[in-house]
Structure formats: C-alpha cells, structure tokens
Homo-oligomer: A and B are copies of this chain.
Amino acid sequence: MSSISGLVEDEISSFFESSPPLKNNEEIVTKLNQFIELNSSCEGGKRRIVCVTSGGTTVPLEQRCVRYIDNFSSGNRGAASTENFVKAGYAVIFLYRRGTCQPYCRYLPDDPFLECFEFPDAKNIQVHGSHSEAVKMAVMDQQAAVAEGRLLKLPFSTIYEYLQMLRLIATALKEVGPCSMFYLAAAVSDFYVPWKSMTEHKIESGSGPLDIRLAQVPKMLSILRSNWAPKAFCISFKLETDSKILIEKATKALQKYKVHAVVANELLTRKEEVVVVSSSGNVVVRRDSNKPESIVEDNLIRLIVDRHSTYIKESHT
C-alpha cells in the first residue's frame, strides 16, 4: 500500500490536535479491549469483528454549542446491517449517532411508550398485540446480542467525537488484521468550522445575513487504510441525490481511498437497491420485492460477508 502524502498527514494531525478531547476516552478503550479480547479468545469462540458506523455527524458552529450543521441519516441502514452481521456470526462494534435507529428496534413505532404498552392494573405491564413482535425483538434479541458479547454500542454526536472514536477502534482492531472489517455507513460531514476559529458564544442574530465559511474535513479514510488498520477489510458508502453522478463518484472514491468496495446509494431509492462498486466490477443488490419483510441489507450483507471470506483466504496465502 502506498503511503499517503505528507500534506494529508499534516492536515489530519492538525485536525486531531485542535479537536476538543474525548471526555470518556479511557472508558471507551477499556470497553473496546474487553470486547476484542472476548471475541478473539477461544472461550468466546473466535469471531470476525466488524465496526459498523451509523447516523450523521454534527459540526458545531459555536464552541458552546447551540447551533450546528447536521447530516441527515436515520441510522436505519447501520442498524439493519448490524443485525445481519450478528446473524452471520460477526461481533459488531456499533459506532452510532445518539438518538438514531438502534439494532433490533427498527419495527418500533415513533412513540413507543405511548403506543406499545399498557398497565391493566398499575402493577403489571403488557405489550399491545400489534407491537408484541417488535418489542420482543427490541428487548430480547438486542439484550442477547449484548450479553453474548456480539454487540458493543458506542454513541457519538460531533465530527470530533466520531473521528477520535473511529481512530481508537481502528487502532484497537489493528492486531485482528484481515478478520476485522470497517463498514462505514455513517454520514460524515465534509465541511466543518475549525474549533479554534470558532466563536465561543452564540452567534448574534442582530441584523443582516450571516456568512459562514466552512473548511473541508480531512479525508480520514486514507489514513485508516494506510496507517490505522491497513489489513482490515474496508467498505465505504457514497450517497448522492443525483443518480447521474453516483457511480462515477463511487468509482473515484474506490480508487482514491483504496477501499475494498464502495456501496453506492441514491437518496430516493436507497431502501430498494444499492450498487456495490469494486475492482471486480459493479453489482446491483436489490431487496427481494416479492417478500414484504425483505430489506436490501439482507442481500447486501450476504455479499459483503462472502467478499470478506475471500479476502481472509487470500490474506493467508
């Protein structure tokens, strides 16, 4: 692997140096190491480990943050993919935006405490029949995955938190080598206001228009691939609203970041189909439209897991 340019490396170091430090750094490292150890030992049954990122990152516009720029992402793709990875035998580090869709919770209504339950006698809670499967999945399946050490959930909000946590995870997974995977479904901000050039207090809404100049977030994928975890299998995502430029941009990203595949998806059709772009060609993956409960992630994760198996085999030869 060719190393990244000194310029990019400088940009990345200065991004991290100027970031507000993670508040719970040590706690995260401890959790990560325990999780990786459990899943790498014989007792736990050695498992492949995937880091699934999910939801959008925020970019604060003020240091004492009142306003921020956000990327729309429900987290549905990340949650559904996590469930499928667990089903396929993986241990999943789920790095998710606070408040977004959680694994096993996709079928809950928007307002679950208003809609799912009742207390017929003020002592015993009951689940309404129509929601019983959804609640059982959210409670039993989710708790089982966590209790069995197959799911570690780590929340973020800002781009600063996300990138620092991603670095911690990648560094911790380095020794897992080809059996580790990054499945980068989070919607990461492309632009930010550098922390030091940011106003401390709330921007005044006195008079006239407001001009904001945003800098580009350095592309961390390069350094993830070249330095942090060079042997991990790596899948990135490309979302566009304009189908005409989607495949072209996904192909460019594949070449630029040297990831193993790029999942290209368009905003309006993303729940029906995606295109997996890789050096072996483009594959359209669709949900089974004759099964109403089918989702595109069922077929997508099957394909990704196959590719990962091939990658592991090839790494050992």
Residues of chain A having any CB pair with chain B under 8 Å: 58, 61-62, 64-72, 98-99, 102, 104-105, 108, 110-114, 117-119, 122, 125-127, 135-136, 138-140, 142-143, 146, 153, 155, 187, 189-191, 200-203, 205, 207-216, 239-242, 267-268
Contact = CB atoms under 8 A, between A and B. Distances in A.
Contact of A69 (B68, B111, B135, B187): B68
Contacts of A142: 113-114
A138 to B, nearest CB: 4
A98 to B, nearest CB: 7
B191 A210 contact: yes
11 contacts: A67-B69, A98-B110, A110-B155, A111-B153, A122-B140, A125-B135, A190-B210, A200-B241, A201-B240, A209-B213, A210-B216
Contact of A66 (B67, B119, B187, B215): B187
Contacts of A242: 201-202
B118 A113 contact: no
Given A110-B98, A139-B118, A213 B210 contact: yes
A202 B66 contact: no
Contact of A205 (B127, B210, B216): B216
Contacts of A98: 110
Contact of A108 (B108, B113, B118, B200): B113
Contacts of A117: 135, 139
B58 A70 contact: yes
Contact of A139 (B119, B210, B216, B239): B119
B202 A240 contact: yes
B205 A267 contact: no
Contacts of A110: 98, 155
Given A125-B127, A140-B122, A241 B202 contact: yes
A66 B118 contact: no
Contacts of A67: 69-72, 189
Contacts of A58: 70
A100 to B, nearest CB: 9
A10 B241 CA distance: 33
Contacts of A203: 190
Contacts of A126: 125
Nearest to A135: B125
A236 to B, nearest CB: 14
Given A114-B143, A212-B212, A216-B208, A69 B61 contact: yes
A206 to B, nearest CB: 9
Contact of A267 (B66, B140, B210, B268): B66
A102 B139 CA distance: 21
A309 B145 CA distance: 54
B61 A66 contact: no
A94 to B, nearest CB: 11
